[in-house]
A and B are shown apart, each in its own frame.
Chain A
């Protein structure tokens, strides 16, 4: 310890006099205990929402896309809005686990597990939309370039919708592998603590026989770093590809080169907001306040603020370029957003995304849990409307005034969206009761450098030494 130097300015990441064993116990408690009534109630609500969504999806597939509010002009609305929204939410998880790992951010260790779970579960929700918004989803496998009996008829690799297929499926699989390798030591911990033969068996299977030898740890670290290095370009490219769905089109309001970075910034923005929402609840209900501290929330709020500002700059850039371009279609597209029939969604988006993160400049607000929680919800509403505004207001009025129309969602549109929210929470609630929600193996590596107790010890020793001199 004497050789260790840690700047005294750094605040502790683990609060209290925690030992390695305390961390184990705290992380294992929600898994080993029984669910309380509140959990069951919330789970029941989520399950009902999910089933309602399944019904809406079955109705759509069985009856046809005409059950939605789409029309001939507006062929994409809630389906792709929700798709992009869910993909965007998923991005924070990979950002936390990969980018923050590359930047050696120790504070990611308490939140990366849940953030990655959020990624996986929200990408699953996102993955539903490309399938159910198809007119003939049972032929969805045609998007894959498989050798076949139609003279080996292949897909055209020029469409961003095909790139979406590769992007999303790669993203989901890489995230899943990254998440699972990180889980191995934690599952092994649960396996070694298991009392009943059933849980012992389950966690034995899940932990793949992890025994925690030096060689294993060495390789584990290398794999994590390589996967983080792979996941970082992936996370940037996935939402870039999603933005290409719009940016490569000829629609005024869509055809902009700013969309890829702006979508990625928006994804991080909404994703971090979602992580904040979830973790503020989780630290409370799972008694993890010692690990997910106010500092974690503050740091996430700062990222929300930064990415929110990037998004704000992007909005202003778009408006500037529209004016500067001299293209009347482009100018009208933005005039229509601000003053057209969907003005309310544009201004709601502007308020939620540009103004609300700016309050994070005040330390009082960004270190206030209630305020962070509310703003994180507002951001997600705003980001939903961002996608809605981009998609619908650009489509419903474009080149030919004779094709101008309005879009109105039906209860099926809403039912599917509610269903995916329900499905997300079904998965997340099940996860929070069966998986170690904090990467305890990682937190244990920072306990002695960033634990509150050890920091105090170190400070007092240093003070003692300086007194002697």
Chain B
């Protein structure tokens, strides 16, 4: 009998001590000494007394150029696109070209609309989320033009310069040309 009381008491205590955790909220913390960052962390909220919009990520000064980056040679205009189509050439040396990498990037960022073969039959098109994605083979494509479109977007397509670095865009460009040639 005594043992049963002890077991019941033990279970009761365990239930009591563990039942205060609410799944909807962060759990209780014991002495959170260095849990919260003193420095502003990326994407964190900042008091509006520090930055007006309350965001940690502030825009750089216009016209500033970070090390290792070259400003785009052609502007985001229809004329810019035309000029790029004719004049812009890939800066990648033969040894820098990497179709494998280009395929990986294409699979991640492009194939959902353009299709794995570049035939305009991506998953979203097949499910008729939207229509009007052209087949690469139907278009006049030059490497400068592809790069310009990835960088700035065209019609329904948005800019991918946020996702892909300049180097990566050239890798994708190469892969798109390969798809078109097949």
Residues of A within 8 Å of B30, CB to CB, are: 138
Q: Give the nearest-CB partner of A138 in chain B.
A: B31
B33 at the interface (CB under 8 A from A): yes
Give the Cβ gap from A67 to chain B, nearest Cβ, in Å: 18
Give the residues from 116 to 145 in chain A that come closer than 8 angstroms, CB to CB, to chain B: 136, 138-139
The 4 closest A-B pairs by CB, nearest first: A138-B31, A136-B33, A139-B31, A136-B31
Category for how many chain A residues contact B? under 10
Give the Cβ gap from A150 to chain B, nearest Cβ, in Å: 13
> Can you list 5 A-B pairs, Cβ within 8 angstroms, ordered by A?
A136-B31, A136-B33, A138-B30, A138-B31, A139-B31
Give the Cβ gap from B16 to chain A, nearest Cβ, in Å: 21
Residues of A within 8 Å of B33, CB to CB, are: 136
A138 to B31, CA, bound (A): 8
Q: Give the nearest-CB partner of B33 in chain A.
A: A136
Give the residues from 22 to 38 in chain B that come closer than 8 angstroms, CB to CB, to chain A: 30-31, 33
A139 to B32, CA, bound (A): 11
Residues of B within 8 Å of A136, CB to CB, are: 31, 33
A139 to B31, CA, bound (A): 9
Residues of B within 8 Å of A138, CB to CB, are: 30-31
Q: Give the nearest-CB partner of B31 in chain A.
A: A138
Q: Mark B29-60, 1 if CB is under 8 A from A, else 0.
A: 01101000000000000000000000000000
Q: Mark B134-157, 1 if CB is under 8 A from A, else 0.
A: 000000000000000000000000
Interface size on B, residues (CB 8 A): 3
Q: Give the nearest-CB partner of A139 in chain B.
A: B31
Give the Cβ gap from B35 to chain A, nearest Cβ, in Å: 13
A108 to B70, CA, bound (A): 90
Give the residues from 217 to 244 in chain A that come closer than 8 angstroms, CB to CB, to chain B: none
Residues of B within 8 Å of A139, CB to CB, are: 31
A129 to B56, CA, bound (A): 44
A136 to B32, CA, bound (A): 12
Give the residues from 84 to 118 in chain B that come closer than 8 angstroms, CB to CB, to chain A: none
Give the Cβ gap from A137 to chain B, nearest Cβ, in Å: 10
A128 to B51, CA, bound (A): 47
Give the Cβ gap from A386 to chain B, nearest Cβ, in Å: 37
Give the Cβ gap from B43 to chain A, nearest Cβ, in Å: 27
Q: Mark B150-181, 1 if CB is under 8 A from A, else 0.
A: 00000000000000000000000000000000
Q: Give the nearest-CB partner of B30 in chain A.
A: A138
A431 to B31, CA, bound (A): 37
A136 to B33, CA, bound (A): 9
Residues of A within 8 Å of B31, CB to CB, are: 136, 138-139
Give the Cβ gap from A142 to chain B, nearest Cβ, in Å: 11
Give the Cβ gap from A179 to chain B, nearest Cβ, in Å: 30
Q: Give the nearest-CB partner of A136 in chain B.
A: B33
A51 to B114, CA, bound (A): 78
A99 to B31, CA, bound (A): 45
Give the Cβ gap from B30 to chain A, nearest Cβ, in Å: 8
Give the Cβ gap from A140 to chain B, nearest Cβ, in Å: 11
Give the Cβ gap from A400 to chain B, nearest Cβ, in Å: 30
A136 to B34, CA, bound (A): 12
Give the residues from 364 to 415 in chain A that come closer than 8 angstroms, CB to CB, to chain B: none
A136 to B31, CA, bound (A): 10
Give the Cβ gap from B137 to chain A, nearest Cβ, in Å: 55
Give the Cβ gap from B90 to chain A, nearest Cβ, in Å: 48
Give the Cβ gap from A24 to chain B, nearest Cβ, in Å: 38
Give the Cβ gap from A136 to chain B, nearest Cβ, in Å: 7
Give the Cβ gap from A198 to chain B, nearest Cβ, in Å: 28
Give the Cβ gap from B92 to chain A, nearest Cβ, in Å: 44
A138 to B32, CA, bound (A): 11
Give the Cβ gap from A199 to chain B, nearest Cβ, in Å: 30
Give the Cβ gap from B111 to chain A, nearest Cβ, in Å: 40
A136 to B30, CA, bound (A): 13
Give the Cβ gap from A110 to chain B, nearest Cβ, in Å: 44
Q: Mark A139-183, 1 if CB is under 8 A from B, else 0.
A: 100000000000000000000000000000000000000000000
A139 to B33, CA, bound (A): 11
A139 to B30, CA, bound (A): 10
A88 to B31, CA, bound (A): 34
Give the Cβ gap from A139 to chain B, nearest Cβ, in Å: 7
A420 to B33, CA, bound (A): 29
Q: Mark B4-36, 1 if CB is under 8 A from A, else 0.
A: 000000000000000000000000001101000
Give the Cβ gap from B147 to chain A, nearest Cβ, in Å: 47
A167 to B30, CA, bound (A): 28
Give the Cβ gap from A193 to chain B, nearest Cβ, in Å: 34
A138 to B30, CA, bound (A): 9
Give the Cβ gap from B28 to chain A, nearest Cβ, in Å: 15
Give the Cβ gap from A131 to chain B, nearest Cβ, in Å: 15
A15 to B57, CA, bound (A): 88
Give the Cβ gap from A65 to chain B, nearest Cβ, in Å: 15
Give the Cβ gap from B91 to chain A, nearest Cβ, in Å: 47
A459 to B33, CA, bound (A): 75
A375 to B101, CA, bound (A): 86
Give the Cβ gap from B66 to chain A, nearest Cβ, in Å: 39
A38 to B31, CA, bound (A): 45
